[in-house]
Structure 1
């Protein structure tokens, strides 16, 4: 199935129970009629140090947030005002609002204005506008041609086979047992690693700041042996793609950096603590 089609199908399925929100977003999508623009629903946004919000609709290429205020919002005018101010201060986004405490003609009028604002922003960006093209950026060829990996670029691939392929290696599996990594050809003590945060036997956790990965078997009796194995093993560098599932249910392997075992922290915490030593990796041309 076409990736964009599947993405939008899942997006609308996710918000299908929110009737008003679903109606407004659907009308924006169809009136805009431009599949170069990516729609993200329920976008997590940090408002302050200890508060966050979920934006109804976010257009990441344009940094536009769209809030869909249903009738109950009229009882929260001041709260919404503070919330929106905090969001703008944090994201520097253009915030557009649809007030749905109106008849359908007025709602349509507001949506038309928002669609016009989106088109105007695209026009103003000109050649700087980057079309939604996840399909290309998820390909092995894209990463090979780019020649390097960078955490800030949110590098992702769909399968472990694709991750291995950009390093010129293969993901070896035995039946239903799936390897968690593969050696990189002609690179001594370097492996490409794809830990799974939802593995039923292993705990793999990326710290909030992205600097550490905590790895240990979920069976407590095996933790000490696992730790001792890596403490005594030759030093290993792990080029790491963390498996995660997005809000629409798509699974990706996202590059999170180059890691080495921090032995001091591992001993102290009684588990393997892999520390990021670089946020970039140069691929072999």
Structure 2
């Protein structure tokens, strides 16, 4: 199946139970009629320490957030306003709000819901679509079309010649990662190796953040990976694992972390080049890999 088709099918399936939100986003997509623009729904935005907001629709290439306010939102006008201001302040994005109705209490204290007419909602959607088109036009040649299929390919990365964390470099499979580096992963019986040798004391590593036997956690700032066996792993203890790596020759790990996005697609994302931080590993009693570079030059 075409990747973009599958992506949009999963996107609308995800928000299918939110009828109004689904309708508005669907109309924006069809009115815009431009599959160069990537849609991301229910985008997480960190707005404070351990505080997150979910944005209804985000267009990453244009840095535009779109909120769809149904009548019940009117009970939280001030709260929503502060949240939206926080999102804009942190992300330096443009925010557009489509108001689908209002809610208020009548003289008896009962809640009254007033929906906008379909035409009123359509007019707001038309304004948002016009704004999106204007932003694309303003960017001109600087607008980068949504092209995940190409950027996920081995050829794209080999032709580019380098990997950079801020470019959000991703690949779909471990075989693709190995091919980019001109190497091949070795199987351990029926088990798949977690990396492959690139050159002396350097491997390409693809840890799985959801592995049942290994804990592989990337720190929030992306600077450290914490690696140790889980309780379900009976083959080695955390202490044995740490001792093994503290006494091993220094190893450089070009790292792609496996993750699953909100639509269920699995990717391996380049998160940097790491080496073991001995002092921190001893202090925390587990392997702590520290990022030593956010870029890697490919030998192609």
Correspondence for 1:135: 149
**Structure 2 matches for 1:155-174, cutoff 5 A?**
155-174=169-188
Correspondence for 1:209: 221
More displaced stretch, 202-211 vs 45-54: 45-54
**Distance in 2, Cα, partners of 1:172 & 1:228:** 24
**Structure 2 matches for 1:27-176, cutoff 5 A?**
27-101=27-101, 102-174=116-188, 176=190
1:205 CA displacement = 0.6
State the Cα deviation string for residues 137-196 of structure 1 (Å, max 9, x = none). 111111111111111111110000011111000122245311000001xx2100000000
Correspondence for 1:258: 273
Spell out structure 1 runs of 4+ moving beyond 4 A.
none
Which stretches in structure 2 are left out of the alignment for 5+ residues?
A: 102-115
**Distance in 1, Cα, partners of 2:189 & 2:36:** 40
- Count of paired positions: 283
Q: Is the 8 A contact 1:240 1:255 kept in 2?
A: yes
1:47 CA displacement = 2.5
Q: Does 1:19 align with 2:33?
A: no
Q: Does 1:273 align with 2:288?
A: yes
1:92 CA displacement = 1.7
Q: Normalized against structure 1, the TM-score is what? A: 0.96
Q: Normalized against structure 2, the TM-score is what? A: 0.91
